[in-house]
Every structure is written in structure tokens, then in C-alpha cells.
């Protein structure tokens, strides 16, 4: 497979607060990050001269950064402060898909001195299933 840029994501959807309607928020998202870290346990004995470790549980976190849009992403994210639901988030590029069940924990809006109105929505794994690329 050839190297590829991050251009032209084919999917970036987030469930609304009902958990039944996936909304395509790609147009409002300017950048994002997600991470798939693993816990690590130090098991180094006194007889070792270097670290010895075991891999533990998998995790997932994300942040969606975007531009305020009252007609699209705001409808999805504005319910974060008043609902306690898990939301399916799906990212797809080059036929590779990452799906994660997340709790979205905040919907902070920032108005800059130059009048930009943006958000940064953090998410954390909610269902105990390690997300994998498919």
C-alpha cells in the first residue's frame, strides 16, 4: 500500500444523544486526534539490569476540534452537558475504519480575539471493548 496524506476522510460520524442517529460532522471538524494506549505494569525484579514490563488493558481517547455550526455539529455536541450516553464515533480513511464507543465529556466553546468560534470535544472509551482498525 502506498503512503497517504490525511486528506479526504470518507467518514467521521458521531451519534447524537439518542444513540441511534449517526451524524457526519466532517465539514465542521478542522482537526482531531485519537490515541490507543495500553497500560503497562512494571515487573522488574531485583535480578534485572533493565526494565521488565507486562502489557495491561487497552484504552482509547479522542479530541474533535472544529468550527461552531448551529445547524450541524452543535446539534450533536450541545447535549453533552445534559445527557449521559455512550456515542459511537467512526473514522474512515483509505478503506480503514476505527470505531469506538465513547463518552463525550465536554463541549467547550472558545471565542478568540479575532472572533473565531471553535470547540474541542474530548472523548473517552466507554464500553470496555478495545477499538481496532478494520
Q: Above 90 in pLDDT, residue 20?
A: no
Q: What is the pLDDT of residues 24-83, one digit of tens each?
A: 999 999 999 999 999 999 999 999 999 999 999 999 999 999 999 999 999 999 999 999
CA 26 from centroid of its chain's CA atoms: 13
CA–CA distance, 88 with 34 (Å, rounded to integer): 14
pTM: 0.90
Amino acid at each position: 500500500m502506498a503512503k497517504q496524506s490525511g486528506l479526504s476522510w470518507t467518514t467521521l460520524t458521531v451519534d447524537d444523544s439518542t444513540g441511534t442517529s449517526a451524524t457526519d460532522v466532517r465539514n465542521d471538524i478542522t482537526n482531531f486526534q485519537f490515541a490507543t494506549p495500553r497500560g503497562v505494569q512494571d515487573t522488574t525484579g531485583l535480578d534485572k539490569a533493565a526494565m521488565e514490563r507486562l502489557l495491561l488493558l487497552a484504552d482509547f481517547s479522542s479530541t474533535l476540534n472544529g468550527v461552531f455550526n448551529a445547524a450541524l455539529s452543535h446539534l450533536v455536541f450541545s447535549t453533552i452537558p445534559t445527557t449521559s450516553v455512550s456515542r459511537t464515533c467512526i473514522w474512515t480513511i483509505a478503506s480503514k475504519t476505527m470505531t469506538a464507543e465513547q463518552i463525550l465529556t465536554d463541549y467547550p466553546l472558545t471565542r478568540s480575539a479575532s472572533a473565531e468560534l471553535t470547540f474541542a470535544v474530548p472523548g473517552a472509551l466507554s464500553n470496555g471493548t478495545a477499538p481496532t482498525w478494520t
